[in-house]
Structure 1
């Protein structure tokens, strides 16, 4: 936890609601205004991938746990939990550094396949699917 920012119990509970209970399609997290903890930003019960992709702000860093449905190379339905680390180039340097140094702490509490993105193109469905296919089936 290089940044000293703590992952709240609320974040871990929201992660479990996506992973185990499938209550939400995705949950988004951010650094709190006091810059001491990672908190839940939004919880979305149902969403298309395009809606999820466009939900990230142009001017703010976020993380999201997303229940990603896709087909493997053989055409079989698969599902993978992904942790999106969203940090566009427009984010101020201090916020970028805080976001980057807090990502590992979040990944330890909320394990998932990490996807890093700085723009919407990097969150393209096919590109994310390809990244997953190179690491697992």
Structure 2
């Protein structure tokens, strides 16, 4: 599975706080991972969830800002492997088999989460991973 150079470039820009999230998809024809949606810095976690299709697999990264128990402002980058139950079996297999290779291209991911529905990606679950 090839990774379009734009994926790496946009991820570097996300690390510089130019984007809040990125949604990636695997194009059927070219068999490469490409950027599908860039979330602007003012967009929220709910905006990311609203950009994940209910019946197709995707990868996504999200830059989460939070406050620690010690009252320190922090930021962590989450990687999501989105694979809804209603997506095609072939698509699930392609995304699952390509995930680790793609993730290695994105240097700086601190947490990973696999989800089949938005309930598995609630903000509470995400924040609980940071403690």
Query: What residue is the counterpart of 2:114 in the other structure?
Result: 116
Give the Cα–Cα distance (whole angstroms) in 2 for the partners of residues 105 and 89 of structure 1: 23
Give the Cα–Cα distance (whole angstroms) in 2 for the partners of residues 35 and 93 of structure 1: 19
Cα displacement (A) at 1:35: 5.0
Which 5+ residue runs of structure 2 have no aligned equivalent? none
The question of whether the paired residues in 2 share the 8 Å contact of 1:7 and 1:105 is answered with: no
Which of 118, 129, 132 is the aligned partner of 2:130? Answer: 132
TM-score calculated relative to the size of structure 2: 0.90
- 1:34-81 CA distances to partner (integer Å, 9 max, x unpaired)? 151101101121311222222211011111111111222333221101
Does residue 22 of structure 2 align to residue 27 of structure 1?
Answer: yes
CA RMSD of aligned residues (A): 1.3
For these two proteins, the number of residue pairs brought into alignment is 128
Of structures 1 and 2, the one scoring higher in RCO (CA 8 A, sep 6+) is 1
Which 5+ residue runs of structure 1 have no aligned equivalent? none
Which of 41, 44, 50 is the aligned partner of 2:39? Answer: 44
- 1:60-116 CA distances to partner (integer Å, 9 max, x unpaired)? 111111111122233322110111111100111110000001110111011312111
Query: What residue is the counterpart of 2:71 in the other structure?
Result: 75
Does residue 94 of structure 2 align to residue 98 of structure 1?
Answer: yes
TM-score calculated relative to the size of structure 1: 0.87
- 1:6-46 CA distances to partner (integer Å, 9 max, x unpaired)? 11111101111101x21111111000131511011011213
